Amino acid sequence: MAVTLLFLIVIARLFYVEVIASDSLQQKAIDQWTRELPVKAKRGKILSADGKVLAANAPSYAVFVRTRSVKNVDLVAETLSRLFGVDEEDLKQKINKKSTSEITVKRQATRTDILKLSEYDLDGVYYSTDNFRVYPYGDLLCSVLGYTSVDGRGQSGLEKVYDKYLGGIDGEILYEADLVGTDLKGKTPTYTQGVDGLDVVLTVDSEIQLITESALKKVIDEYSPKRASAVVINPQNGKVLAMANLPSYDLNAVPRDDIQTLNKLSRNALVVDSYEPGSTFKIVTALADIEEFLQKNPKAKSLDYVFSSSRYRLVAGGKIKCWSTHANGKHQNQTLSDALNNSCNPCFTDIALSLGKETYYKYIKNLNFGKVTGIDFSGEATGMVLPESAVTEGDLARIAFGQSIAVTPIQLAAAACAAVNGGYYYKPTLVSEIKTSDGKTVEIINNAYSKKAVSSEASKILASYLERVVSEGSGKQCYIEGYKVGGKTGTAQKFEDGKLSQGKYVMSFMGFFPSDNPRYLCLVTVDEPVGGTYGSTVAAPVAGEIFKGIINAKSIEKFE
């Protein structure tokens, strides 16, 4: 009985070794009798929509030491220290620590470095091909492109989001070794070829990006704000044509030794930061008002009712007032179009309170506030929308003109696109397709519209009102003779540590053209400009310059 049991145990063990564990044991044997050197796959390029290379590679090398193959530790440590600037004593200790089979001495070594290394016949020292990421345009689009780690993996921005496409699969060179890990002389290494990464093609147009950053640099020079940002989107499909945050930094000289500065400069505020939008949010209130009016008056072409001429509204024990004194007949007999022109807060308070929070919140939800847009970028914020059940009359009155609510710039821009493009909400996108290095399309990134947010009729009326804001009202500094431009200004006092911060403002402008069939929408935000007074004087001129640049670059003719 005992012999039979022993025999069964032996049979079971043989079955386990030969069948169940054969693959893993074979791999362990290969690992024990071979040593491998990685061969870095070429990282895919990042290209603009118009074919400009925004991120590419420069050839480089990586240098390694096989500790068990080193015969003269002092010579190897001294030579590598001299050639690559590594600490000699530290390297010597690592080599003598035989439990570590391989040490990386230098990454991104140049061809000149390797030629010098080749002059020495150092046992246990090897090198393999590597890649060094280069950005031909330096700081252009830096907060969007992001950067890679020293070992060539995506660490931030689109480099990280699309790393699975860009990174490729590394190859390797296998060397046969003895039991203690020393390379066997006379054995031919085995080379396993890697798979290069795929190219990522952006929706961003390099010309429009350059125009946008140039316009922002001017406002930085004039007003010295903490930050100036702008996004340009095609309202007809949600494609981001430009996205810029200044100040910026050179992607070829990432300040890795200053994490605080790096985090600040690499932050894509348009996607990851929230702010109280102020008067640019009035487009949401106006749109809700128009839509509800049209549902009751389906044949109407405009809204002709008139708001109270009082400068004040008393709501829930608080006073809401207009920026204007209403003296000398100003802001009298205002229609909705007039109220947008004059950016008169009490009129929008009237609208929200008359609609009620249930109806008003329907439009906040339809335009996707309080949720991520789904843009293909990591760390997107949701903004801050008070739960409908918790909203007081005072909250609703202030949300109507962009207070007591926080949005991200990309949320507001995407909602504005839907508000003026016929009512179609698109998920904004930064990447259009994935290609092989020889130009074959592997994957198309779809950006089909998500939903119908409002009616085409309401959208058309709002766009015409916003065109008047630019031609006659607070947005006049974005007016371009011969072109139909619409827009809305915003000046929002910053909310910090639970209270309004005195003297701290975010000034903004949302503009689009042609207003009757928009192809370009731009949102500009300027955070704490020094000496600036209103979004109409600080942010609107930036959008105007961007639009003029686009008109010239794309040879867009005046309307008849």
Q: Which residues are catalytic?
A: 279
C-alpha dist (Å) from residue 373 to 143, 201, 383, 449, 456: 18, 21, 11, 12, 21
Residue among 314, 313, 351, 310 at smallest CA distance from 333: 310
Location of structure tokens 């145990």? 9
Residue among 470, 476, 524 at smallest CA distance from 223: 524
Residue 406 DSSP code = B
Residues comprising the chain, all counted: 560
Phi and psi at 195, nearest 5°, equal -120, 120
For residue 127, the tally of other CB atoms under 10 A from its CB is: 17
Residue among 136, 132, 160 at smallest CA distance from 147: 160
Integer Rg of the chain from CA: 31
Find out whether 160 and 143 touch, Cβ atoms under 8 Å. no
Find out whether 539 and 218 touch, Cβ atoms under 8 Å. no
First-to-last alpha carbon distance for the chain, in angstroms, is 104
Contacts of 189 (CB under 8 A, 6+ apart): 173, 174, 175
Helices (H), 297-356: 336-342, 345-355
What are 505's strand-pairing partners? 493
Find out whether 177 and 33 touch, Cβ atoms under 8 Å. yes
Find out whether 215 and 228 touch, Cβ atoms under 8 Å. no
Find out whether 205 and 241 touch, Cβ atoms under 8 Å. yes
What are 239's strand-pairing partners? 429
Type of residue numbered 211:
I
